[in-house]
Amino acid sequence: MPELPEVETTRRGIEPYLKGRRVSRVIVRERRLRWPVPEDLDVRLSGQCIVSVERRAKYLLIGAEVGTLISHLGMSGSLRLIEQGLPAAKHEHVDIELESGLALRYTDPRRFGALLWSDDPLNHELLRRLGPEPLTELFDGERLYQLARGKSMAVKPFIMDNAVVVGVGNIYASEALFAAGIDPRRAAGSISRARYVRLAQEIKRILAQAIECGGTTLRDFVGGDGRPGYFQQELFVYGRGGEFCQVCGSTLREIKLGQRASVYCPRCQR
């Protein structure tokens, strides 16, 4: 599933080709995504100039002169730029054609993603209750510490709660907790302020590094597969259950937390 760094890499990849360009038409081949694609999307977007390409959490916000297209990639979605007229494969559901001759193509084999329209995107029901962006000054260890007071839930699902902070998905929560030396099973309310300060720093560092990794492994959003590089070469614990810890040599343990697989080092994380 694309996480925040992959979505940010997508945003950076497509922005230069969209911003300042005018939409000529929208072709919708399949409306049945997680929520139906608006039937009047072509009417709303055609003829408009794209004025911004932004991100909020894992949502891409493609701002036009009047209104905003909200895109979520779901579990298997991707966006890439192609030459107009390129025949569409089975799972290539939507083309946004530009007067430049390019088209932004949305592909989603599992159809868990979304393409929605809003006149006020930050107040849309999907976005208005989201917590702060992790790479801004609005997110820090003090926020984590204060919100965790009295909470018995495990710290890993706590930091993955989008009301606490957005974009800390399973991969990056696992890696940040390892870097901060915190056992993912620990009760959120039992962790000290100093350790939350360290955890917030590691979340910021790892997400920033992952974004740069995605950028360096990205080949081309024009004519390519539109999928950014992932952070796999840097992983210490995620997906490595039963392997040796790269720091201390202990065997990494895999458990279930919040219905998700979690891997941790029993020696490095306490």
User: 244-267 burial by CB neighbour count: b if 16+ within 10 A, else e?
Assistant: ebeeeeeebeeeebeeeebbbbee
Is 58 part of the annotated catalytic residue set?
yes
Catalytic residue of the set 3, 6, 175, 202 = 3
CA distance 24 to 103: 9
Is 2 part of the annotated catalytic residue set?
yes
For 130, the token pair is 């989201």
Catalytic residue of the set 2, 134, 157, 228 = 2
Catalytic residue of the set 11, 56, 58, 227 = 58
Alpha helix (H) residue ranges in 103-192: 141-148, 155-159, 170-180
Other Cβ atoms closer than 10 A to 192: 10
For 192, the token pair is 């000290």
CA distance 64 to 200: 34
How far, in whole angstroms, is CA 22 from its chain's centroid?
Answer: 26
Catalytic residue of the set 25, 186, 204, 260 = 260
In 3D, which of 117, 2, 17 has the Cα closest to residue 57? 2
Is 151 marked within a binding site?
A: yes
Is 124 marked within a binding site?
A: no
Binding residues: 91, 110, 151
Binding residues for DNA: 91, 110, 151
**Active site residue ranges:** 2-3, 58, 260
